[in-house]
């Protein structure tokens, strides 16, 4: 059975060649991956996040961008391991949005 990341032989159309500025949150996600990964705290491995990405399902996997996939996978692995709960993450996001006046 093909995994969601196996897109060989499928027609996804042309590849856009335009360069886009990487948003600050995406740059921070790379730093977070380093801090929590094998070279940092060792909480999450590359293999665990790859598996978590593939477990998102076809629709969700293809709806998210590269950095969004990474952060969702990181979240899922940390929740699976009991490092944080989904509720704790949601509460923190809500708090940050309140502070910024965006939600």
Is there a domain that residue 42 lies in? yes
CA–CA separation, 47 and 53 (whole Å)? 10
Return the pLDDT at 103.
Answer: 65
Q: What is the mean pLDDT of the chain?
A: 91
Return the pLDDT at 49.
Answer: 95
Domain count, the chain: 1
Task: Note the pLDDT tens digit of each residue in 18-61.
Answer: 888 999 999 999 999 999 998 899 999 999 999 999 999 999 99
pTM to 2 decimal places:
0.80
What is the extent of the structural domain holding 87?
Answer: 32-100
CA–CA separation, 34 and 55 (whole Å)? 22
């Amino acid at each position: 059975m093909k995994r969601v990341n196996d897109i060989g032989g499928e027609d996804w159309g042309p590849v856009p060649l335009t360069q886009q500025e990487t948003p600050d949150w995406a740059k921070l996600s790379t730093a977070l991956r380093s801090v929590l990964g094998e070279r940092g705290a060792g909480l999450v491995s590359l293999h665990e996040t790859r598996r978590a990405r593939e477990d998102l399902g076809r629709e969700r996997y293809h709806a998210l961008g590269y950095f969004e996939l990474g952060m969702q996978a990181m979240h899922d692995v940390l929740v699976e391991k009991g490092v944080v709960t989904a509720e704790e993450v949601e509460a923190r996001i809500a708090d940050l949005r309140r502070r910024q006046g965006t939600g």
